[in-house]
């Protein structure tokens, strides 16, 4: 894509966003790539290196919650996971996170649905944020969906128990095979149904239900804008594609929309 093409795509994308009534951003690991956090798939991806986790992680947690917590709290238990966590711990929000928070402050972006668990959107100031795969700085009750910061608990006695309802606490990050908490998935579908323009940034659009939200938008007559250096299954339904890094492109959108 030439520079002229990119500039034209940014003009078109910002015009479409300006005309939209309910813009929603759907975000994936690519948004945090420029913060130094590895993506999952593609070159250098975490799963590309170590393989996708087993689909029965949640089942294993339910079968032995204390053993699951012991494993979670032991950095040596999973070096790749520890490396990923260290990348998150040393990461800062990048211009893409700040651009989404600014679009929200401008009243242009109505909600951000993120698949990322790295807390960088919160740190960049996003408020209307739905963390569909959870947030790794938190623990969650599998009964009442209560959430607390991880460091509000001591982990001497395992597994930690919900102070509100007595059910099990686990990391807030949604595991493979774990149902997405009902309040979270309801909020996502509500936004997808209201949305007339979904900007899909930095996701390979391969994991459901998140990857299905753009289809809900288009079936309601809405449009898809894609921000990704690489093609994805959504590229063919996007009315405009910004083929590049979100950290470079999203601030340009903000600039144009500021007028």
Interface with ligand APR (CB under 6 A): 28-30, 33-34, 39-42, 45, 115, 133, 202-204, 206-207, 227-230, 232, 245-247
Phi, psi of 164 (to 5 degrees): -90, -45
Q: Which of helix, strand or coil describes residue 87?
A: helix
Q: Measured at CB, which residue is nearest to ligand APR?
A: 30
Q: How far is the CB of 106 from ligand APR (least distance, A)?
A: 21
- Max distance between CA atoms of the chain, in angstroms, equals 60
Q: Which of helix, strand or coil describes residue 56?
A: coil
Question: Encoding tokens for residue 252?
Answer: 């340009």
Q: Which of 42/125 has CB closer to ligand APR?
A: 42
Known active-site residue 133: yes
Instruction: Spell out where the chain has E strands.
Output: 23-27, 109-114, 129-131, 138-141, 147-149, 169-171, 197-201, 223-227, 238-242
Q: Which of 153/177 has CB closer to ligand APR?
A: 177
Q: How far is the CB of 101 from ligand APR (least distance, A)?
A: 16
Q: Which of 201/257 has CB closer to ligand APR?
A: 201
Give strand pairing partners of 129. Answer: 112
Q: Which residues are catalytic?
A: 133
């Amino acid at each position: 894509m030439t520079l002229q093409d990119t500039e034209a795509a940014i003009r078109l994308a910002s015009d479409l966003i300006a005309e939209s009534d309910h813009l929603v951003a759907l975000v994936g690991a690519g948004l945090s790539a420029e913060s130094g956090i590895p993506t999952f798939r593609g070159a250098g991806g975490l799963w590309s290196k170590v393989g996708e986790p087993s689909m029965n992680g949640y089942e294993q947690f339910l079968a032995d919650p204390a053993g699951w917590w012991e494993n979670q709290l032991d950095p040596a238990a999973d070096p790749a996971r520890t490396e990923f966590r260290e990348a998150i711990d040393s990461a800062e929000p990048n211009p893409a996170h700040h651009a989404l928070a600014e679009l929200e402050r401008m009243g242009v972006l109505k909600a951000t649905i993120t698949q990322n668990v790295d807390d960088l959107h919160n740190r960049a100031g996003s408020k209307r944020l739905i963390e569909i795969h959870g947030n790794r700085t938190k623990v969650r009750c599998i009964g009442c969906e209560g959430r607390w910061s991880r460091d509000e608990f001591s982990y001497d006695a395992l597994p930690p128990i919900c102070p509100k309802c007595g059910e099990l606490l686990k990391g807030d990050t949604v595991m493979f095979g774990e149902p997405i908490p009902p309040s979270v998935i309801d909020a996502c579908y509500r936004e997808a149904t209201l949305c007339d323009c979904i900007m899909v940034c930095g996701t390979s659009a391969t994991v459901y239900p998140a990857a299905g939200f753009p289809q809900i938008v288009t079936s309601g007559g809405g449009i898809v804008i894609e921000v990704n250096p690489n093609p994805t299954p959504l590229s063919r339904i996007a009315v405009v594609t910004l083929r590049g890094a979100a950290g470079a492109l999203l601030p340009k959108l903000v600039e144009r929309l500021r007028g």
